[in-house]
Structure 1
Amino acid sequence: HDVINVTPGRDPATVERFARGFMDHNGVPVYVRLVACDMSLGFRKGIREHLPHARRIVDRFHVARHADEAVDKAGKTEGRSDPLFKRTKCLWLRNGESLAELQVETKRNLTGQRLKTGRACRMREVLQDICTDGRTPSEAWVRLHRLCSWMMHSRLKPMKDLARMIRRHFAGIVAYFGHPYANAVLEGADGVIRNVKRRARGFRDMDHSATMIYLTCGRLDLKAVTTT
């Protein structure tokens, strides 16, 4: 759970810099077997080139975030012409157990009116069920394939775009069900890093920023540091 490497960028060169730093600390890039990351095409190419034996796992929380964004776009598009959608955004983007009783009833009534956003919300919930309940890669493969087909025939542009994104990263998404790793720990560290940046009111350069990240998230043993 410790930060051991800080490298700027989101392209293949970023992974290359990580691999070089890894070797500087006696790491062997070809021994890396699993990498959990988001759906960045730059990361995908970099992993393929510089961590050649690593299997890429797409973080399921990033998949869920893209699904939320797709439902939100569908709601905004339909909300421009339908007054029923005023102040209902939270109903579509939150799970039923986190809604109050009145909100659950309102959502049920809206869903029963065959609204496009209601269909988009059901697709999001199916995706969430797959990520939560999928037991094997083969089962997840079948269920995701069916979901993508449903979304592609939905006539909802945001959901069709989501389906295309899932298909582009299908192997990485399915890999999660065989190796259930995610970037949750990293997201927690990111919150700490944002707080450090806010307290410092920014840093002059990347070196200063990286130093503070190591100090706050690297769990360094400062007592072991000696000076002459």
Structure 2
Amino acid sequence: MPEITVVNVERVADDNGKPGRPVHIERPQDWAACPDCGVVSTVVRQRRTTRPRDLPHGEEPIAVRWHKRQFACTERLCARKAFTESTAEIPPRARVTGRLCRAAARQVAAGRPVAAVGREHTMGRPLVHRHFAAHADADAVLAEPEPPEVPGIDETRRGRPKWITDEMSGKWVRTERFETNFVALSGTGALLGQAAGRTGRAVADWLSSRGPAWKEQVRIVVIDPAARYRTAIRQALPHAVLVVDHFHLVALANRALTAVRQRVTRQERGRRGRATDPEWANRRRPLRGREHLPERTFARMWNDPIDHEPAGQILTAWIAKEELRRLPACARERAPRSVISQRLFRFLCWCADSGVPELVTLAQTIDAWWPETLAFITTGVTNARTEGTNRLINDAARVAFGFRNRLFDLEGEGPGRGLTGESS
């Protein structure tokens, strides 16, 4: 450690018999400059011993003992009569060394939870988070990312919504817990930015703030089937091709199948499904793709709805789901346009002729999003990178769990100043 000399190292045992090593340190200079007037003083008033926590070293724990000296200021015009020597790594009133704080910040940056790092180094969570925020600000890339040709847009939620009192009006307002993420699907796949909320205005404002040159580079925009995003993108990027992610189309079919099963159970049994009901016990099997079902499992899945539900609505919904899955598969198969039109016609006719209200709604949704679905089939661009970025954002939120405020004031805080014990 700069400006520090090790005087002695002992090897002792604590009350439980565990070995430890007290390390006695001091400054080699017998003088110090007054922090107010800068006059050098060699008059020692008294000596003190502090115990700042430092990085662990070796197998046995170490305990730092800093023998500090308090000097008397010899300048008569100086208001400060005495001062205690300090170093850059151990500033005045510090209980933690600067290198321990930096090491804790690097561990949090590597993905470890703040609370776990604090417990390991006996540091309070606010102190660990404050130095992690300083570490992140120092490494933050302030340059604007290159405009991508294919951005992806999706939303994430940070906790549950809360109601707070507005300081200006005194009324109760609901805090925004959703964030819209913009990810570059072409190139490095980096996170371009975030906008508070999941409204169309938030998307339009963020895109408009990029500038005309940035927007002209965009050719394709990949989104989930959200009408608010589609309207905002058509206003901000009228020249871009909209693509809807195929994963969410299949998810719509699975939700429709689940809704049919739940409605049929309530109509036939007058209650919700139970573990003794065959349709409830095997509720996850119809959600799997046909190619992932063994023949025996498929035969059981096919026969059980026929035996227990004579109307066959659950089986009809399953067939509609499989017909819908064949549409996005055209992108992988590189099917011609005639095959795509034939599969779309079969799916829409099956849903319309079934008479099942959930399937009619599903067909209407697919028909309303057909231009974006066809764009996916022809381009093959997915929103997978955006979903992966959402997972990283959620992991970071879980690591930071326990902090109520998202902004921290870092001004005037030294390496070891502030809260060092229990979190406040």
Q: TM-score, normalised by structure 1?
A: 0.79
Q: Which residue of 2 aligns with 1:75?
A: 261
Q: Which residue of 2 aligns with 1:35?
A: 221
| Matched-pair contact (CA < 8 Å) for 2:200–2:228 | yes
- CA–CA separation in structure 2 for the residues paired with 1:50 and 1:207: 31
Q: Pick from 276, 285, 289 the counterpart of residue 95 of structure 1.
A: 289
Mean alpha-carbon deviation: is it higher for 69-78 or for 103-112? 103-112
Q: What SS class does the counterpart of residue 281 from structure 2 fall into? A: coil
- CA–CA separation in structure 2 for the residues paired with 1:53 and 1:165: 24
Q: Which residue of 1 aligns with 2:321?
A: 124
Q: Which residue identity is paired with 1:119?
A: T
Q: Which residue of 1 aligns with 2:374?
A: 174
User: Residue deviations 1:64-118, cap 9 Å, x none?
Assistant: 1111100011111122326431311111101244446653332132255562111
Count of residue pairs the alignment pairs up: 206
Work out which of the two has the higher radius of gyration on C-alpha atoms and give 1 or 2. Answer: 2
| Matched-pair contact (CA < 8 Å) for 1:71–1:117 | yes
Q: Which residue of 2 aligns with 1:145?
A: 345
Q: Which residue of 1 aligns with 2:203?
A: 15
Q: What SS class does the counterpart of residue 318 from structure 2 fall into? A: helix
Q: Which residue of 1 aligns with 2:190?
A: 2
Q: Which runs of 5+ in 1 are unaligned?
A: 209-228
Q: Which residue identity is paired with 1:57?
A: V
| Matched-pair contact (CA < 8 Å) for 1:15–1:43 | yes
By how many angstroms is 1:192 displaced?
1.8
Q: 1:39 to 1:98 in 2, by over 3 A?
A: same
Identity percentage of aligned residues:
24
- CA–CA separation in structure 2 for the residues paired with 1:158 and 1:207: 45
Q: 1:145 to 1:102 in 2, by over 3 A?
A: closer
By how many angstroms is 1:151 displaced?
0.5
| Matched-pair contact (CA < 8 Å) for 2:323–2:346 | no
User: Residue deviations 1:138-194, cap 9 Å, x none?
Assistant: 532442233122212211111111111111111111111111111111112212221
- CA–CA separation in structure 1 for the residues paired with 2:337 and 2:402: 43
By how many angstroms is 1:62 displaced?
0.9
Q: Which residue of 1 aligns with 2:79?
A: none
**Greater fraction of residues in helix:** 1
**Greater fraction of residues in strand:** 2
| Matched-pair contact (CA < 8 Å) for 2:323–2:343 | no
Q: Which residue identity is paired with 1:50?
A: A
1:110 and 2:304 aligned: yes
Q: What SS class does the counterpart of residue 57 from structure 1 fall into? A: strand
- CA–CA separation in structure 2 for the residues paired with 1:176 and 1:79: 36
- CA–CA separation in structure 1 for the residues paired with 2:402 and 2:372: 35
- CA–CA separation in structure 2 for the residues paired with 1:9 and 1:137: 38
- CA–CA separation in structure 2 for the residues paired with 1:205 and 1:51: 35
Q: Pick from 184, 191, 200 the counterpart of residue 384 of structure 2.
A: 184
- CA–CA separation in structure 2 for the residues paired with 1:165 and 1:92: 21
Q: What SS class does the counterpart of residue 182 from structure 1 fall into? A: coil
User: Residue deviations 1:167-222, cap 9 Å, x none?
Assistant: 111111111111111111111221222122122126656779xxxxxxxxxxxxxx
Q: TM-score, normalised by structure 2?
A: 0.45
Q: Which residue identity is paired with 1:192?
A: L
Q: What SS class does the counterpart of residue 4 from structure 1 fall into? A: strand
Higher relative contact order (CA 8 A, sep 6+): 1
User: Residue deviations 1:36-56, cap 9 Å, x none?
Assistant: 101111111111110110111
